[in-house]
Structure 1
């Protein structure tokens, strides 16, 4: 039996604003249900209101959940008010926290879908993708609304909550991917660490992503849904000797996104803060305590809230190439290159597809990592050390290094420790790059460029000294599409540092 629908209005004014331990937030008046209802029954309430321009980042709608509830169902809608050109319209995200509260750290976190869904459910044995199955316990739950952008006239919304009563059911034990695959011992392994499925705003299922990863020639992937760890247990039967599945999250704040790579399964990383609150360092340490890497994503992206504002002091690597190569990536690459001159404490580069749906390609680009084996620990160690290069597909491979002195050699991410005046030979071997050019880039800029054979396979050598070049890295580029502009990347390496001292 369906209970009455309430049309109560929850319009807010500035007097309702308060600041919590998270970003500025606002709590609305609570929604109450009957103390109990007969098994098999249900009750529904609808709350309407308008969020004004300049609303807090998060608005919490408390829901008083009585005993005996087996399922909570939430749907919402909001008006997409027409706005003049150049003015942001309405966009409203949604998620939920259970009776354990909304405090930073996410102890009460039960799911987030951002703007990807208009409704969701939670019960003991199942939940909408992006949400965490488990009992619907009595207490104050909070629906979290995130007014991403608000039109000048405000953001009218309606939230409908339905409680269904009955036996709670059982929550199945989560099954997570293993930490190792068969591997080839010490070798180069290809991976894509930034992917989205139906568990956030992607359109592919985990099974479709796993199939696409294998088709792209990948050895490992990292699940990185926006602001939820719900997909960590969604990969049963999809891993194998040929595919290592890491678990993580894309922590999507209002001041930039960061991919947590390879955290322990079940790890949730909170996102409810801005750079001005000086909290990111704490959550970067939380990622590392969970065994993962901190990787700022698409740091120069122009979408609202996407540009990275937290600095790179807490980064283990940085995503300089995100999806098909664009001017945003060119800026990210140049910005990253400017940090390499000292060589001490440098941050390695990564590339990932950020693929959400067809026709976006999983593994375009991919990070190729030198690791001791195909295990979580070994892959993360290789990325952290910068023993990696980025390529547009598995069809392109390269070998890059420098030698000099008494038979000394250094590979990607390492240091050739020789005196400043020692002659050094830099060598690049490429396959799978027809019509491309090879470039050697140093702290002074690009000092050597040559065309590769039409076959796409070739070897390029260049001689220098540590006194002349602090580091050398390689780029492989396609032909330019416009005069005076660089061609799109086909591949790039992390640097080899020349001379004594520094990291390596």
Structure 2
């Protein structure tokens, strides 16, 4: 897949259950060191450590010396109440959390108290010694987790993905080998996404987190496809995708818990809660699908919204108009898309097929923290055509200030806003801009080349506006949906 990259790369530290950072690695919460001698051959050593309350996941990295002498030390784990797993000598790093764990280990509550590493010694020669070190990292409830401890790809780029799909862990189904309709396994979703050239996906089964364990097992195999932790919070008054946490998130909206409560909880977790298909009809065919909260809540809590759903696209139930109502209130809300796939076997490009539409994110690297950070910032466009290479990269400058999609720009009255639009694989289509939802005819232009940079200008009036790009067919059908650049906004996105 073609990527448009800049020359610099930013490194990051994964905050939850993470251990890798090239320049400034996080410090372990506990370091356990010891010595194994030849006298301990064919024995098991228990190495205790204390886990405080409030921990949602822990990661262990284990290293030892003596490999050149064929020393082998196996590894396992007990919590204060039970056995949590055994990886022998096949892993030097593992993570356990309440909802998922590295294969070989069991998910479950991270109980406070004394845990124990099991060190099995199948071989150490007489007279030999081995020094071991176990570094233990605690993750508290910060909401941002991952199934890999390092980026799958380094360097800034436009990364393509699908942020809304379902599997056997909720109502996803497909045909079995003998042609029967059965719950569709997570593997088929990952395989289809990989074959279609996606860089990331979020499996968002309804209200559950059981699929997270399957994704943790699959992530090492799909080392070019990043799995973003997600689920669809499904209430009687609307659906919303939660991105980031893997621990339980209470979805029960009723008399005492409100829609506002959901967004406040997501804020505390530093998670993204994105309203799904808000213009969809609600009824017995799709219970709670439309967005009709049981009581009003502060719209400033909404930072991300699914403006394009695979079942609607730009049809009668498309949610772009709902999203733009939030923009018209002066709010900065990122538009994303998702296929809402319920059958991994739907052929590529068909309605609700995996990757139609794609959310395309300009992120510092291919990692969960970088992707979620870029989505919060609005560095996103939505590709309704399920292409593998279309790019809509827009920036504006005024008085030597520069802003990308999702950013704010100060544009004084009578100044000239210079617009640069870098387009890839859009020949034969039209680039247009909407100012506060209305097309600006002077900013509509034909795209004639496979890769083209178009330069346009707009006279600023010094007032507050949102300016967003999109790409359409000559007949006006939407192909690429861009996020706004916010002119003269003083409010922070946070």
Decide whether the 8 Å contact of 1:398 with 1:430 is kept in 2.
Answer: yes
Q: Which of 205, 209, 234 is the aligned partner of 2:189?
A: 209
Structure 2: unaligned runs, 5 residues or longer: 1-82, 85-97, 109-145, 174-183, 347-351
Contact conserved, 1:293 with 1:317, CA < 8 A, in 2?
A: yes
- Offset from partner CA, 1:254-313 (integer Å, 9 cap, x none): 1110110121x2x22233325x76612222233344442110100111142211123644
Residue 457 of structure 1: how far off its partner (Å): 4.4
Matched residue, 2:290: 307
Q: Cα distance 1:455–1:258, how it changes in 2: closer, same or farther (>3 A)?
A: same
Q: Which moved more, 1:250-259 or 1:424-433?
A: 424-433
Distance 1:471 1:410 in 2: 12
**1:11 matched residue in structure 2:** none
Q: Which residue pairs with 1:6 in the alignment?
A: none
CA offsets per residue over residues 427-454 of structure 1, 9 Å max, x none? 2222223442221001161113645346
* Aligned ranges 1:458-497 → 2 under 5 Å: 458-467=452-461, 470-480=465-475, 486-487=476-477, 489-497=478-486
| Pair 1:218-2:218 in alignment | no
Query: Are 1:436 and 1:456, in contact at CA under 8 Å, matched by a contact in 2?
Result: no
Is 2:387 aligned against 1:372?
Answer: no
The CA distance in 1 between the partners of 2:454 and 2:252, in whole Å, is 48
Q: Deviations over 1:173-198 (max 9, x none)?
A: 13972254322223322221111111
Equivalent residues in 2 for 1:166-177 (5 A)? 173-174=106-107, 177=147
Q: Which residue of 1 aligns with 2:310?
A: 323
Q: Distance in 1 between matches of 2:437 and 2:200?
A: 35
Q: Kindly state the Cα deviation for residue 469 of structure 1 after the two structures are TM-superposed.
A: 7.3
- RMSD over aligned Cα atoms: 2.9
In structure 2, the residue matched to 1:247 is 229
Partner of 1:350: 336
Change (3 A) 1:363 1:179: farther
For the residue of structure 1 that corresponds to 2:242, the secondary structure is strand
Deviation at residue 222 of structure 1 after TM alignment:
1.3
1:181, 1:243 within 8 Å by CA — same for their partners in 2? no
Cα distance in structure 2, aligned partners of 1:397 and 1:351: 15
In structure 2, relative to structure 1, the CA distance for the partners of 1:436 and 1:290 (3 Å cut) is: same
Taking the aligned partners of 1:378 and 1:133, their CA distance within structure 2 comes to: 23
Kindly tell me: are residues 213 and 447 of structure 1, through their superposed partners in 2, closer, same or farther at Cα, counting changes over 3 Å?
A: same
SS, match of residue 201 in structure 1: coil
Pick one of 380, 385, 395 that aligns with 2:389.
Answer: 395
Question: Which residue is 1:45 aligned to?
Answer: none
Going from structure 1 to structure 2, the CA distance change for 1:327 and 1:453 (only over 3 Å counts) comes to: same
Give unmatched runs, 5+ long, in structure 1.
1-123, 126-131, 135-170, 481-485
Following the alignment from structure 2 to structure 1, what is the Cα–Cα distance between the partners of residues 321 and 99? 44
Please state whether the residue corresponding to 2:244 is helix, strand or coil: strand
Q: Do the aligned partners of residues 378 and 436 (structure 1) sit closer, same or farther apart at CA in structure 2, a change above 3 Å counting? A: same
In the alignment, the residues of structure 2 paired with residue 252 and residue 185 of structure 1 have an alpha-carbon distance, to the nearest angstrom, of 35
How many Å apart are 1:500 and its aligned residue?
5.8
Q: Deviations over 1:192-222 (max 9, x none)?
A: 1111111111123211111122222222211
2:354 to 362, 381, 397: 362
Q: Report the TM-score, using the length of structure 1 for normalisation.
A: 0.59
User: Is residue 367–residue 391 contact of structure 1 (8 Å, CA) maintained in 2?
Assistant: yes
Match of 1:436 in 2: 429
Distance 1:492 1:329, change over 3 A: farther
Q: Distance in 2 between matches of 1:339 and 1:255?
A: 18
| Residues 252 and 271, structure 1, Cα contact 8 Å, conserved in 2 | yes
CA contact (8 A) 1:368 1:388 kept: yes
Structure-2 separation of matches of 1:309 and 1:303: 9
Contact 1:179–1:244 (CA under 8 A) maintained in structure 2: no
**1:296 equivalent in alignment to 2:283:** no
1:61-107 Cα deviation digits (max 9, x unpaired): xxxxxxxxxxxxxxxxxxxxxxxxxxxxxxxxxxxxxxxxxxxxxxx
CA contact (8 A) 1:222 1:262 kept: no
Determine if contact 2:237/2:292 at 8 Å carries over to the other structure: yes
SS at match of 1:373: strand
Moved more, 301-310 or 382-391: 301-310
Partner Cα separation in structure 2 for residue 234 and residue 290 of structure 1: 23
Q: 1:238 to 1:444 in 2, by over 3 A?
A: closer
For normalisation by structure 2, the TM-score amounts to 0.60
**Residues 277 and 301 of structure 1: is their aligned pair in 2 closer, same or farther, counting only changes over 3 Å?**
farther
Other structure's SS at 1:210 match: helix
Per-residue CA deviation, residues 305-326 of structure 1 (Å, 9 max, x unaligned), is 2111236443220000011524
Q: Look up the match of 2:210.
A: 230
In the alignment, the residues of structure 1 paired with residue 303 and residue 369 of structure 2 have an alpha-carbon distance, to the nearest angstrom, of 14
- CA positional deviation for 1:356: 1.1
